[in-house]
Chain A
Amino acid sequence: MDGQLIELAYALDTFYFLVMGAFVMWMAAGFSMLEAGLVRSKSTVEILTKNIALYSIASIMYMLVGYNLMYPADGNGIIPAVSFFLGGDNDAADVIASGGEVYYSALSDFFFQVVFVATAMSIVSGAVAERMKLSSFLLFCVVMTGLIYPIQGYWKWGGGFLDAAGFQDFAGSGVVHLCGAAAALAGVFLLGARKGKYVNGKINAIPGANMPLATLGTFILWLGWFGFNGGSELMMSNVAEANAVALIFVNTNAAAAGGVIGALLFSKILFGKFDLSMSLNGAIGGLVSITAEPLAPTPELAAIIGAVGGILVVISIIVLDKSRIDDPVGAISAHGTCGIWGLIAVTLSNGDATLGAQLYGTIVIFAWTFIMALIFWGILKMLIGIRVSEEAEEMGVDVAECGMEAYPEFKK
């Protein structure tokens, strides 16, 4: 290829990468709306504060150290070399000299990666909603996005030992979603259920405040997921790569649709009613399920993988509820249970994947994140506490933690 063509391809791939990254950034809005819709109105301001703060903390921590830990210049496969701050970008002469080997901007890679960290952290915020101390959550966010997430990311995407073991995770059913869910589960374990959720052996429903917002949030996440999976192809400047990105879009959409239909029908059979909030979780479950391998399956298989994810979400939510694990938005089920299913489902279509390697990666990511999260939540619990007072919880964390209400002009 001549130099100008290489530069043009570089510009196109970088452009595609940045736009896909911006789509993923928009998922932060999706999580905010989904979570705001599924909590009570007295916890709205706090969950929105949490969401915009965690996105910002993730952006800064990953820029300072996280990105370098995940993609280190050096490392032994388990422990990456430590360095700080972002490096410079590629020189035009070097790009041309590489003959197309270097095909996107280094900073566009950082941008695409940083929005993934924020996604992992967003998963945690919904599960611990309505009862966690905001300050403890934000301190945990620093550790999660600066250390816990990047290390396990290095093991797979940074070329560490999970990658060497043949573990397959295309866009992060494990690295992003299972990781976020494992940290959430550890937090919920130490935090306990919302007051009034489980009383005298009975499970009390605590309905979400705003179903239109939850639905909008789900659609935003669905949109963002085209960037999440589509961008993870990393290249689109030739026919084969462009076709691959198109197939990923089609598969991602089919899996989400399958997830909704799976959850909708399954909830109708189980409860006798069409359950909207379960269907929304079904969409997320379907998306998470296809994230580990959105390229190899046919669209039909993608829809089936998603539908199984949608059914699993419903089962998982019921089982967690029966186990007294209070997850107000179903994040642990949609991202954790479906994350594991997604990693296993890779073996259905990707010939390079083995069940052994997939289970190995699943266990390593879960164990690392869960144990590290348990340690840091535990330290925070001892030092400053992680739960608001009973009085604050009854009054609502909006007023207790943020000093304001979401809808001050509506009085009950």
Chain B
Amino acid sequence: MKLIIAIVKPFKLDDVRNALSDIGVQGITVTEVKGFGRQKGHTELYRGAEYVVDFLPKVKVEVAVSDEMSDKAVEAITQSANTGKIGDGKIFIMNIESAIRIRTGETGSEAL
């Protein structure tokens, strides 16, 4: 099992959700987050004085999938969250040691 963590642009969230749904992903967890990448935020203007917004708003999507679904899920996110512009985000993939569904006690891929 893999945990896929994707940091994407907030307005792309709906597209990402639909793309994952379409390939059969059963659930995702979403968090509003802030951060910076290589551009280190951006500047805004207030009463003639520029100021730097250090942390830009992003959405963190967490998806737990079986090993065979992993590549498809990553591809779905990559395609749906891509705008071709700076700040499209990143995807991180981790191994999941175990998973348990709380209601039934099922474990492993059955619990996803």
Contacts and interface: CB of A to CB of B under 8 A. Distances in A.
Partners in one complex: yes
Interface of A: 203-208, 267, 270-271, 273, 275, 277-278, 314, 317-318, 321, 330
B48 A275 contact: yes
B38 interface: no
Contacts of B49: 203-205, 321
Interface residues of B, number: 8
Contacts of A206: 46
A267 B51 contact: no
A273 B45 contact: yes
Nearest to A275: B47
A317 B48 contact: yes
B97 interface: no
A180 B71 CA distance: 67
Contacts of A271: 45, 48
B48 A204 contact: no
Contact of B45 (A203, A275, A317, A330): A275
A221 B87 CA distance: 42
A262 to B, nearest CB: 15
A195 B34 CA distance: 25
Nearest to A197: B49
B51 A318 contact: no
B50 interface: yes
A202 to B, nearest CB: 9
A204 B54 CA distance: 14
A205 B47 CA distance: 8
Nearest to B43: A205
Contacts of A314: 48
Interface in B12-50: 44-50
Contacts of B46: 205-208, 275, 277
Contacts of B44: 205, 207
